[in-house]
Amino acid sequence: MNVTDSTHRPIADIAEPQWEAIAAIPIADEGAPLHPLSLAAPTLRTLPIYHTLGVPRAVPECWTREALYRRLLSVARHLPDGLGLVVLDAWRPYVVQRYLYDTLLGMVEARYADLDAADRRVLTRAFVSPPSERPECPSPHLTGGAVDVTLCDADGLLLDMGSAFDEARASSHTVHFEHHADEAESRTWRDRRRILYHAMVDAGFANLPSEWWHYSYGDQMWAWYHGEPRALFGPTAPDSLEARWHRSLGLTE
């Protein structure tokens, strides 16, 4: 992986996801467990953003599958000197996904009351996926195959990327500053996004074009962008004490 010159590599326009086609991709999940990314410190930094922001029932850890864990470590180790990778969110409980979607949809409905319901759902989906626990089509973060990431400086201070994480606005689109970089500040934002994008994509991730921070590996969106015949990860959850007791006693859960 070579990201030292990535500020000179433009981000090409990214195809908009075709959600019906993505939902039709079969999933072949072998049941790989989730791992806490806090164990990767100090190479990789984590900031469980929804827990920090007080979102109800958000978890205080960033959990992800081993394949992502190792790729994120590789990205962090190969960033240019003075930069660090920060994971803001990874596996996300269904109840949190439901809260995020319902809350944003309510705000979109209030702001764009003149639009029909279908258009308001499209606007909402650009930033929050509809909540789903269905084994054949789960919400991306429920699989442990989606992560939200950003960059920090050597002291751990988050860098300005041109829009804040989860801002529902046009400037949050990954390539926005490829087309709107008329001033030095916006060129800085463009270059930081280039560094993050190329580091993640070169490590095998796929980016959601409406969110500069959202990347996935192994979920259905990743499979669609990479032309894979099947996704690797379905819905999952961190192991629990109760589940361990069930297994050790030979009980059905």
Binding residues: 141, 148, 214
User: Which run of H or E residues covers position 248?
Assistant: helix 241-249
* Under 8 Å between Cβ of 209 and 173: yes
**Helices vs strands, H then E, count in the chain:** 9, 7
Q: Which residues touch 118 (CB under 8 Å, ≥6 apart)?
A: none
Q: How far is CA 35 from the centre of its chain?
A: 16
Q: Is 211 a catalytic residue?
A: yes
Residue spans of alpha helices (H) in 131-217: 176-179, 184-202
Alpha-carbon distance of 81 to 43, in angstroms, equals: 13
Contact between residue 171 and residue 160 where contact means Cβ atoms under 8 Å apart:
no
- Which residues partner with 34 through β-bridges? 65
Q: Are strands 83-89 and 45-46 parallel, antiparallel or unpaired?
A: parallel
Question: For the chain, what is the largest distance between any 2 Cα atoms, rounded to a whole number of angstroms?
Answer: 64
Q: Which residues are annotated as a binding site for Zn(2+)?
A: 141, 148, 214
Marked catalytic residue, from 136, 211, 228, 253: 211
**Residues designated catalytic:** 211
